Amino acid sequence: MDSSELSELVKETKKQLLHLQALGVEGVQLAKEPPTTSRSVSAAIPVIQPSSKPLQTKPASVSPDSLFGELAPEQERLASSQETFEQIHNEIGDCTRCPLHRERTTVVHTEGNRKARLMFVGEAPGADEDIQARPFVGRAGQLLTKIIEAIGLKREEVLIGNVNRCRPPGNRPPTPEEASMCKPFLLREIAIVQPEVIVVLGNTAMKNLLDTRDGITKLRGTFQDFKGIKVMPTFHPAYLLRDPSKKRETWEDLKKVRDYLDSTAQH
């Protein structure tokens, strides 16, 4: 073996060592041989043997998400829209897309500040909303107004809407099929406003917006993500009227929303 071949072999050996070190091999040992008066060049090449410790493919402190972070898909963000609410409402028209139109009185559109930092989303209008063509104006709506004022805002400063715009018979929850007809219009409104926080009120609204199977009792009080927008699930005001003991938990949820908005406010 000439010097160039020996040099190439040494380089290859170093490369193997670096590779095994990256896999967690902590040391190498030379193969033991009986002493001889002359050793061949091949005998001088170290034989790589892993240590007795188990291999680690990555340091314990490295999470799977960060190990190959450059390969992780980018989180989808809600693109800003140049549409207007009027364009969306005109497209909805005297909607007959789902069976709810048969018994409703009016279509109840989203209302409020179209540059709002905070948005509230419920499931569907009730009897009072169906008559007045405004969201959250009944007893539950009056409680929602008090909640909004309790965090230092006025009702006209926020945006308020529902997943569905027509009242289901008997105030039952909208079916998935009914919600699927209306939800795209809500998402288009959210894209226009780009609120910093959306508070989803109740189980039905939360599941429809977040596409989750988890219940409100599991997710409430913890910020979720909807395409780059923070979402706070909490109890529906109508539920609080039935079970006032849940008002304390709802207040804790809304305080987190208030504190977050305060921390990002531009002074």
Residues 85-109 have a mean pLDDT of 97
Q: Which of 21-35, 114-128, 135-149 has the lowest mean pLDDT?
A: 21-35
CA atoms within 13 A on the CB side of 7: 3
- Tell me the pLDDT band of 117, cut-offs 50, 70 and 90: very high
State residue 137's pLDDT score. Answer: 97
pLDDT at 11: 73
Q: Give the domains, in start order, of the chain with CATH numbers.
A: 1-29+43-55 (no CATH), 85-264 (3.40.470.10)
The arithmetic mean of pLDDT across residues 166-179, rounded, is 96
**Contacts within 8 Å (CB) and 24+ apart, 86-94:** 88/185, 88/188, 88/189, 91/185, 92/165, 92/185
- Distance between CA 158 and CA 119 in Å, rounded? 6
Mean pLDDT to the nearest integer, 84-96: 97
pLDDT score, position 267: 63
**pLDDT band at 76; cut points 50, 70, 90:** confident
Residues 50-63 have pLDDT tens digits of 444 444 444 444 44
- Distance CA(111)–CA(84), nearest Å, equals 13
Q: What pLDDT, in 10s, does the model give residues 209-244?
A: 999 999 999 999 999 999 999 999 999 999 999 999
Nearest to 197 by CA among 266, 260, 115, 129: 260
Residue 127 pLDDT more than 60? yes
What is the per-residue DSSP string for 82-129?
Answer: ---HHHHHHHHSS--SSGGGGT-SS----EE-TT-SEEEEES---HHH
Residue 150: its pLDDT value, please?
97
Confidence tier at 36 by pLDDT (50, 70, 90): very low
List C-alpha distances in Å: 165 to 12, 70, 110, 126, 129.
Answer: 70, 42, 8, 10, 10
**pTM for the complete prediction?**
0.72
Which band of pLDDT confidence, cut at 50, 70 and 90, is reported for residue 152? very high
Output the average pLDDT for the chain: 84
Lookup: tokens for 175: 């079916």
